Chain A
Amino acid sequence: MHIPDGFLNNKVSVSLIGAAIAVVVLSVKKIRQRLFERVPVAKKKLAVAEGIDINDVEVSFKYSLTKIGENKIYKMAVIGAFVFAAQMVNFPVIGGTSGHLLGGVLAAVILGPLEGFLVIAIVLALQSLFFGDGGIMALGANIINIGLVGAIGGYYIYYFFNKKFKKKLLSAFLAAWISVILASVVCAMELVLSGTYSFGEILRAMILIHFFIGIGEGLITVCILKLLLRYCPKILKNEK
């Protein structure tokens, strides 16, 4: 679903670049806060002749990286690498069309919604810069569709289903499926706003094909989560 350059007009591209930057900045801020904890540090004043009384020790706070915070960076890097690799593997769906994993729900379930978003955004940026996959002007749109809708939106769909059914894998499947369809709807809207094609028809076409691609997304997401549960259970802990 990577939009190339040329599909969107400048107005739509530039607004979405702005929107993407805003979401990236906000998520970076939030992620950063969560990586640190507040630790009290005793600051000692210079000792004076009369000796030290309690007033000489003043406490200030330092923010230091938590253990979870340090591991999280490795986790984000490796999940990003995996999503990139998995996105290369197009699987055939109906009618001579293929799809590939977008990975939003996968990344968000493992890392948390904002971390998942950031990872997807970096993957998209690198694909656009180094592999000509997805336009550089369309990068904002792609980050919004695949990152914001796919990862953050997908995460909350997962969260909703998981609360209701209490079944993680089923919820991840449904969330992955629905998030791909939603991303395709948003993508169709961007195309229509750019005057590329008329609304009804392109919306129907995008939903129809992504209905099937989404099933693939759901199945792959569940398979990978199952493999991780079995072989790498630690990475799925402290999900938030």
Chain B
Amino acid sequence: MKNKEIKIILIGALIVGGIVSLFASSFPDGLEKVAEDRGFIDKGFSIISGMMPDYLFPGIENEMLATSLAGIWGTLLVFVVIFIVGKLLIKRYVLDDSGKSEKK
């Protein structure tokens, strides 16, 4: 890891995703509420429900633990994916002096 601050923020993010998320309100969010009130909430569905629908880690009975694990897993996933995307952005990117990019 590059520097101290990155570590601090990553730890902060893991605490928010893994612990603070347990205290999240279960009320519908703004858009869901509007959709409920106007009667079109049932139109909504997910084509891909994903590995962890509703931010619950699969195969775990205890809902709090499942939420916490999903939060930690997701936080790390986002970190790693953006990191990889970033590395791909900078890899094999060499320009010759005419300014054209050339893959090596």
Contact = CB atoms under 8 A, between A and B. Distances in A.
Nearest to B85: A122
B76 A81 contact: yes
B23 to A, nearest CB: 7
B31 A119 contact: no
B50 interface: yes
Prevailing SS type, chain A contact patch: helix
Interface stretch (A70-78, A150-158, A169-177): A70-78
Interface in A56-86: 60-63, 65, 69-86
Contacts of B70: 131
Contact of A235 (B9, B13, B21, B23): B9
A112 to B, nearest CB: 14
A85 B14 contact: yes
A97 B96 contact: no
Interface residues on A, range: 35 or more
Contacts of A127: 74
Interface string B27-70: 11111011101101001111111111111000000000000001
Contacts of B49: 132
A84 B75 contact: yes
B31 A187 contact: yes
A200 interface: no
Given A32-B90, A85-B21, 20 more contacts: A3-B31, A35-B90, A38-B95, A62-B95, A73-B82, A73-B83, A73-B87, A76-B82, A80-B78, A80-B82, A81-B76, A97-B33, A100-B24, A119-B82, A126-B81, A130-B77, A131-B53, A131-B54, A132-B46, A201-B38
